Amino acid sequence: MRSWLFVPGDSERKLDKSLASQADVLILDLEDSVAPQNKPLARDMAAGFIADRRGETQALLYVRVNDLATGLTDDDLKAVVASRPDGIMLPKCNSGADVQQLSTRLRVLEAENGLPDGSIRIVPLITETATGVLSGASYRGASARLAGLTWGAEDLSAAIGARSTRDEAGRYTDVFRFARSVTILAASAAGVPAIDTVFVNFRDTEGMRRECLEAERDGFTGKMAIHPDQVAVINEAFTPSAEAVGQAKAVIAAFAQSGNAGVVAIDGQMYDVPHLRRAEGLLARARAAGVA
Ligand code: COA
Ligand code: MG
């Protein structure tokens, strides 16, 4: 899952428009992009969209609910679970225990709605609170529903009282780079994909591309988007190139031919087991993207 496009749940126009995007996942938002007075409307519209229009897109359909401290989460879930979303995005998640709480609620609602137990997945935003950033290790083994981890900088900046998330050169400052790194490590420890956060300057295509390439280099397997124009840039950056796929296949073949030795040589370069794991991971992503 490379591109995760946010769509405000109360916008008929954007919901419509999202169907034409090439996003791998649409995240129907009930949280920050929806004003308090519109929450009930957004719940109904998101549920209706999933129930009525799923056939018009290949994308997975996720719903971002309001966080567990708002008192809104249960009503969000009650409104959307019957339409069977593919997953729930949980904002301001503080630890694996929050994922387990959400999982318990989903379990009850799945049973009440005749859905298979565990069918609705969970992707938490794990760096929107200070506690969340410091709890990265708690996602390992938290729930079989866990489908990935992602992060956010804006809410964290509000939580800690930072005036900006970036320095004069446009680079994230230390706290936010740390949160980003925690996400990569926490996802790896939990055995799920790490998904990079949004790039809010949606007219800056070059800035977006740069951030995608850095994210892909560092271990993220996808990125969230706030505007349909960002989707193609993300899909391109996170789709392994033909050259990378060829290289990965060569590494895997060399190991197979060697009778799975611990180390092989290709064109005067050494490859050992970490290289094999990386090649297998890349090939899995290429297959998911339909290019291998
Ligand atoms: N999903 C689907 N369609 C979208 C969209 C989105 N996230 N963002 C924009 N569009 C549509 C617009 O409705 C517009 O369609 P139209 O021409 O039929 O009216 C078209 O794409 C072009 O949009 P544009 O004029 O370039 O942007 P905008 O000023 O309408 O919207 C934002 C800018 C930022 C308000 C909008 O992109 C948005 O709402 N993004 C999502 C915000 C969000 O969910 N935030 C929470 C997560 S951080
Ligand atoms: Mg937020």
Neighbours of 140 (CB within 10 A): 15
What is the DSSP track for 245-286? HHHHHHHHHHHHHTTS-SEEEETTEEEEHHHHHHHHHHHHHH
How many Å apart are CA 33 and CA 223, to the nearest integer? 18
Q: Which atom of ligand 1 is nearest to the CA of 18?
A: 2
Domains, the chain, in order of start with CATH, read 3-237 (3.20.20.60), 242-288 (no CATH)
Q: What confidence score (pLDDT) does residue 260 get? A: 74
In angstroms, the Cα distances linking 14 to 63, 91, 97, 123, 199 are 15, 21, 33, 22, 18
Which residue puts its alpha carbon closest to atom 33 of ligand 1?
Answer: 227
Å from CA of 14 to ligand 1 middle: 6
Asked whether the beta carbons of 21 and 249 are under 8 A apart, the reply is: no
pLDDT digits (tens, 9 = 90+) for 259-287: 878 899 988 989 998 999 999 999 999 99
- Mean predicted confidence (pLDDT) in 51-64: 97
Q: Phi/psi at 88 (nearest 5 deg)?
A: -120, 130
Q: How many CA atoms lie within 13 A of 172 on its CB side?
A: 19
Q: Tell me the percentage of the chain whose pLDDT exceeds 70.
A: 100
- 49 in contact with ligand 1, CB cutoff 6 A: no
Tokens of 138: 């708690």
> For residue 204, what are the contacts with CB-CB under 8 A and spacing of at least 6?
none
Q: Does the Cβ of 29 fall within 6 Å of ligand 1?
A: yes
* Mean pLDDT value of segment 186-213: 97
- The C-alpha atoms of residue 87 and residue 27 are separated, in whole angstroms, by 9
pLDDT at 81: 98
C-alpha distances in Å from residue 246, one per residue of 51, 199, 241, 258:
41, 31, 9, 18
Q: Take atom 46 of ligand 1 and give the residue whose Cα is closest.
A: 33
Residue 261 has a pLDDT of: 81
Q: How does pLDDT run across 115-157, given as a tens digit for each residue?
A: 999 999 999 999 999 999 999 999 999 999 999 999 999 999 9
pLDDT per position as a tens digit, 4-45: 999 999 999 999 999 999 999 999 999 999 999 999 999 999
Distance 72 CA to ligand 2 centre (A): 15
What pLDDT is attached to residue 259?
A: 84
